Chains A and B, each alone.
Chain A
Amino acid sequence: GAVVSQHPSWVICKSGTSVKIECRSLDFQATTMFWYRQFPKQSLMLMATSNEGSKATYEQGVEKDKFLINHASLTLSTLTVTSAHPEDSSFYICSASLGAGEVETQYFGPGTRLLVL
């Protein structure tokens, strides 16, 4: 149980284009989803926390207009990297938790590797 999928797993795009990454909880309803970014040899950096039906909460230093998050249902959250630039190249990982009142074990998606040329 508690499987999270991400799509796509790999994306290469040109500078200036927008990229959408989907995160789905396959066998449970995720009240809360998290988006992380991880640069090589570094730990996870939380970008934002999204709750279904409300606006995402962004971490300090993360541009909300650049990284658009939509959590339209209890099983789907999307991250759109708008006008991507080479410095946005990274490993983007989503995770989902069962939500309030539960131990906040996070179940991670397999990650999306973004390369911006």
Chain B
Amino acid sequence: GQNIDQPTEMTATEGAIVQINCTYQTSGFNGLFWYQQHAGEAPTFLSYNVLDGLEEKGRFSSFLSRSKGYSYLLLKELQMKDSASYLCASLDSNYQLIWGAGTKLIIKP
């Protein structure tokens, strides 16, 4: 079956670094997405990885290991506005997104 696992909730301190992990098992693989979703709003695109390695984009970086079915989203210099849910989604062989349940990130001063 198809499955995406990520922690339900994480807490971090303003200015710190946090890593949100995601493991996936999908029928075929065409890439891994990370989206940010603030409460009451629609998701916004953060990153897309299809090759192994780390992609850095400002304060946010995303890592992929295809052999391990594993990805993480790394957020540096955390700001209060980073409090949101972070959704991991895998693109399967039919180019359909399989969504994780999301990780709620709580930032404390």
Chain A interface (Cβ < 8 Å from any Cβ of B)? 42-44, 46, 49, 91, 93, 95, 103-111, 113
Complex alpha-carbon distance, A108 and B42, angstroms:
6
Complex alpha-carbon distance, A42 and B102, angstroms:
8
Could you write out 8 A-B pairs with CB less than 8 Å apart? A43-B99, A43-B101, A43-B102, A44-B99, A91-B40, A93-B43, A95-B42, A105-B33
Chain B interface (Cβ < 8 Å from any Cβ of A)? 30-31, 33, 40-45, 48, 50, 87, 91, 95-97, 99-102
Complex alpha-carbon distance, A111 and B40, angstroms:
9
Q: Please state if B41 and A111 are interface contacts (CB–CB under 8 Å).
A: yes
Main SS at interface, chain A: loop
Main SS at interface, chain B: loop
B98 and chain A: residue at smallest CB distance: A46
Choose one: A43, A49, A104, A109; the contact of B42 (CB below 8 Å): A109
Q: A43-B87, A103-B31 are in contact. Are A108 and B100 (CB under 8 A)?
A: no
Q: A43-B87, A44-B87 are in contact. Are A108 and B44 (CB under 8 A)?
A: yes
B102 and chain A: residue at smallest CB distance: A43
Choose one: A103, A107, A113; the contact of B48 (CB below 8 Å): A103
Complex alpha-carbon distance, A10 and B93, angstroms:
35
Chain A residues near B96: list those with CB within 8 A.
46, 49
